[in-house]
Amino acid sequence: MRKSVMSLAVSATVGFGTIFGGTSIITEAASISSLKGEQSKIQEQRSDLNSTITQKNNQITDLQNQQANVQSEITRLDQAIADSTNKIKETNEKLESTKAEIMTLQGEMEVIKDRIEKRNILLKDRARSYQETGGMVNYIDVLMGAENFSDFVDRANAVVTIMQADQAILKEHEADKQELEIKQNQVKTNLASIEKMVADLQTLKQQLNVQKAEKDKALASLKEQETEAHEGVMDLQEQDELLAAQQAAIQKAITMEQEAQARAAAEAAAAAKAAQAAQAKAASSSTSSSSSSSSVSSGVTPGVSSGYWTQPAVGYLSSGFGTRGSERHVGVDIANRTAVPIVAAADGVVIRSYLSSTYGNCIFVSHSINGQVYTTVYAHMSTRLVGSGAVVKKGQQIGVMGNTGASHGQHLHFELHKGPWTQDKRFAINPVGIVPLP
């Protein structure tokens, strides 16, 4: 009879992870303690994550301030480039105007050159005449040949006029030469000055363009850094959300364990009371009675293994746990060409069910088995059938195999973590030998 009572008490004991397995109340208490310990660890991880998120947000603010400064500098350079472009345009217009003036000056210089040439001929003729007639002596002859005083005066006036004309020609000749030289120098100076101005402006514009290109590159780099920082924050926030979900799942497990303990204690008390009543009745009765017990076997879904774990999907093992090429593969891949159901590998609570950029449609499940927390991950599914916070049983369908996220070919990426899931996946273990696999 004592054996029957103990059997009844044990069969009535349930808990999360061991909800359907049966353990002692002491084991359940140890399981709750373990779960609370895991909660504390997760809270520490979340604190670290939040600190890192704050640092990342500060980095983003700093990057945004740097971008604002660079953008301001780019705006200044754009304005400088626009100004230099306008000045180049104005200077080119001035250059064209100067070239037109040069054409006019060249025309004037041609006229001056023609006058100078003609005077050269005249002066050469005068010089030749002086050489042939004796120059001034000839003028004296003219004066001495006067017939009377009036004729002398006339002749003297004529000589003076001729001499003044010769001097005027010489002066004009020198003046034209000087004007020609001045205009030639002016043309050269103006043209050289404007051409230098254009060249300087072109050089300045090129320098400004180089500076702007450098600033554009710097701005692009800062924007890229900001994008990476935002993505980093999103990744950290995703991790924090996952850790928070794990905390909630573990809290739910603790509640279930406590409720199971209460039920087990009540059932044990009831069984003990029934046993005492049976003993009292046996002592007062002269006839013995026999009791029979029947074993109740619950129906098992085909393909569901006995024990704590069952195979999560039908297919073949396409990739194992460990190093794969240059990357660390912390799970196993079960591939199948047909749309096959994905089932929970053990009893547990769904930590999170969502669409990830890498895992695709994925589900994280927390399990508590004999006081040890495990986490399973089911990734790349085409369909998810359970939501966050759901309680699932071993062998219960939770999704359909697919090819979502960072996946190549239809398969289930299955991970087993001895403890909570973390970003660095330091608790990941090889499920081979623990979880039944193809």
CA dihedral 399, 404, 405, 408 (to 10 degrees): 120
pLDDT at 296: 27
pLDDT at 229: 74
Structural domain boundaries enclosing 61 = 1-284
379 with 238, same domain: the answer is: no
Instruction: Report how far Cα 186 is from the mean position of its chain's Cα atoms.
Output: 60
pLDDT at 25: 47
168 with 38, same domain: the answer is: yes
CB 436 within 8 A of CB 314: no
Surface-to-core class of residue 249, CB atoms within 10 Å of its CB (0-12 exposed, 13-18 middle, 19+ buried): buried
Other Cβ atoms within 10 Å of 251 Cβ, number: 14
Its pTM surpasses 0.85: no
- Inside any domain, residue 289: no
Q: Where is mean pLDDT largest: 64-73, 134-143, 293-302, 316-325?
A: 316-325
- Inside any domain, residue 75: yes
| Helix/strand/coil for 291 | coil
DSSP element (H, E) containing 386? none
pLDDT at 189: 82
Output the domain CATH number for residue 235.
Answer: 1.10.287.2610
Which residue type occupies 233?
Answer: V
Taking only the tens place, the pLDDT of each residue in 407-432 is 999 999 999 999 888 888 999 999 99
pLDDT at 340: 92
Taking only the tens place, the pLDDT of each residue in 197-252 is 888 888 888 888 888 898 888 888 888 887 777 767 767 777 788 788 888 887 88
- Inside any domain, residue 24: yes
The answer to which of 96-105, 168-177, 187-196 has the lowest mean pLDDT is 168-177
End-to-end CA separation in angstroms for the chain: 44
Other Cβ atoms within 10 Å of 8 Cβ, number: 17
Q: What is the mean pLDDT of the chain?
A: 77
325 with 255, same domain: the answer is: no
pLDDT at 268: 82
Which residues have a Cβ under 8 Å from the Cβ of 46 and sit 6 or more positions away? 240, 243, 244, 247
CB 434 within 8 A of CB 321: no
- Inside any domain, residue 206: yes
Whole-angstrom distance, CA of residue 357 vs CA of residue 115: 91
Whole-angstrom distance, CA of residue 36 vs CA of residue 50: 21
- Inside any domain, residue 298: no
279 with 328, same domain: the answer is: no
Question: What average pLDDT does this structure show over 163-175?
Answer: 70
Question: What average pLDDT does this structure show over 363-387?
Answer: 92
pLDDT at 289: 33
pLDDT at 166 over 80: no
Taking only the tens place, the pLDDT of each residue in 1-33 is 333 333 322 232 333 444 334 444 455 566 677
- Inside any domain, residue 296: no
Q: What total of structural domains would you count in the chain?
A: 2
Taking only the tens place, the pLDDT of each residue in 276-286 is 888 877 766 54
123 with 83, same domain: the answer is: yes
